[in-house]
Amino acid sequence: MRSTMPIVFDRYAQLELGLPLFDTAIRVLDPARLNAEAELKLRGGTL
Protein backbone atom coordinates (compact mmCIF):
# COMPACT_ATOMS: atom_id res chain seq x y z
CA MET A 1 0.00 0.00 0.00
CA ARG A 2 1.24 3.48 -0.81
CA SER A 3 -0.16 6.44 1.04
CA THR A 4 0.69 10.03 1.86
CA MET A 5 -0.86 9.70 5.32
CA PRO A 6 1.59 9.64 8.24
CA ILE A 7 2.01 6.28 9.96
CA VAL A 8 2.05 6.41 13.74
CA PHE A 9 4.24 3.76 15.34
CA ASP A 10 3.22 3.20 18.92
CA ARG A 11 2.58 0.18 21.13
CA TYR A 12 -1.12 0.08 20.24
CA ALA A 13 -0.78 0.35 16.45
CA GLN A 14 -0.22 -3.40 15.81
CA LEU A 15 1.65 -2.63 12.60
CA GLU A 16 3.71 -5.18 10.73
CA LEU A 17 6.80 -4.13 8.83
CA GLY A 18 8.12 -6.37 6.08
CA LEU A 19 11.59 -5.81 4.66
CA PRO A 20 12.77 -7.67 1.56
CA LEU A 21 16.04 -9.47 2.26
CA PHE A 22 17.99 -12.55 1.45
CA ASP A 23 20.53 -14.60 3.30
CA THR A 24 23.49 -16.48 2.00
CA ALA A 25 26.30 -18.54 3.39
CA ILE A 26 29.54 -16.74 4.18
CA ARG A 27 32.85 -18.47 3.65
CA VAL A 28 35.86 -17.13 5.54
CA LEU A 29 39.08 -17.51 3.58
CA ASP A 30 41.39 -15.80 6.09
CA PRO A 31 40.25 -16.41 9.69
CA ALA A 32 43.16 -14.48 11.20
CA ARG A 33 42.28 -11.38 9.19
CA LEU A 34 38.59 -11.77 10.11
CA ASN A 35 39.51 -11.89 13.82
CA ALA A 36 41.80 -8.85 13.49
CA GLU A 37 39.13 -6.84 11.66
CA ALA A 38 36.49 -7.83 14.24
CA GLU A 39 38.74 -6.78 17.12
CA LEU A 40 39.53 -3.50 15.38
CA LYS A 41 35.84 -2.77 14.91
CA LEU A 42 35.01 -3.68 18.53
CA ARG A 43 37.76 -1.38 19.79
CA GLY A 44 36.34 1.54 17.85
CA GLY A 45 38.76 1.49 14.91
CA THR A 46 42.03 1.77 16.85
CA LEU A 47 44.40 -0.76 18.35
How high is the pLDDT of residue 46? 65
Residue 3 Cα distances to 6, 7, 11, 23, 43, angstroms: 8, 9, 21, 30, 43
How high is the pLDDT of residue 12? 86
Positions of the chain with pLDDT under 70: 1, 46-47
How high is the pLDDT of residue 5? 85
How high is the pLDDT of residue 32? 95
Distance, in Å, from the CA atom of 41 to the CA atom of 33, rounded to the nearest integer, reads 12
Domain residue ranges of the chain, discontinuous segments joined by +: 9-43
